Amino acid sequence: MSEPMNVTAVAERSGNWWAVEVPEIPGLFTQARRLDQVDGMVRDAARMLGREVGMVTVDPKLSEEDERMIDELLAARREATEARAKASRLTAGAVDALRGQGMTVRDVADIIGITPQRVSALANA
């Protein structure tokens, strides 16, 4: 057997299957039902060709429309994560400011719309 090499498994939908090609190993083609099965299928196919692989990176190829949809989804998730982080910082600042003015935990909770327990946790952090 040859030295193990890291490879990229290019997977493209073909009906209900993922058709898989490994460009680093000419002639290595296989298929899998699910992306999580690609690694094992590539290793099996490589062994049949007398090759051993190290790490298998799965690269699913999607249509341009699907790629745009996924890009938009991931961007929205990033924005949501950033918005949550900003809201957390603003909440902590509001708790500090309002508690600093002598407001009760319950009043602060009512004003900013969180539980009194959360107000206490933020005030004690």
Those residues whose C-beta lies under 8 Å from the C-beta of residue 52, and which sit 6 or more positions away, are 1, 2, 3, 4, 5, 46
pTM of the model: 0.69
Q: What DSSP element (H or E) covers 20?
A: strand 17-21
Range of the domain at 112: 77-123
Query: Which ranges of the chain have pLDDT less than 50?
Result: none
Q: Is residue 99 part of a domain?
A: yes
> Are 18 and 55 part of one and the same domain?
yes
Q: Which of 61, 86, 106 is the last residue of a domain?
A: 61
Q: Where are the alpha helices (DSSP H) in 101-115?
A: 105-112
The total domain count for the chain is: 2
> Are 17 and 49 part of one and the same domain?
yes
- pLDDT at res. 123: 92
**Angle ∠(123,80,117) on CA atoms, nearest 5:** 25
Q: How many C-beta atoms surround the C-beta of residue 18 within 10 A?
A: 23
Q: Left (φ > 0), alpha (ψ -120 to 50) or beta: where does 25 sit? A: beta
> Are 45 and 92 part of one and the same domain?
no
Q: Is residue 69 part of a domain?
A: no
> Are 97 and 54 part of one and the same domain?
no
> Are 57 and 83 part of one and the same domain?
no
Q: Residue 44 sits in a domain of what CATH number?
A: 3.30.2390
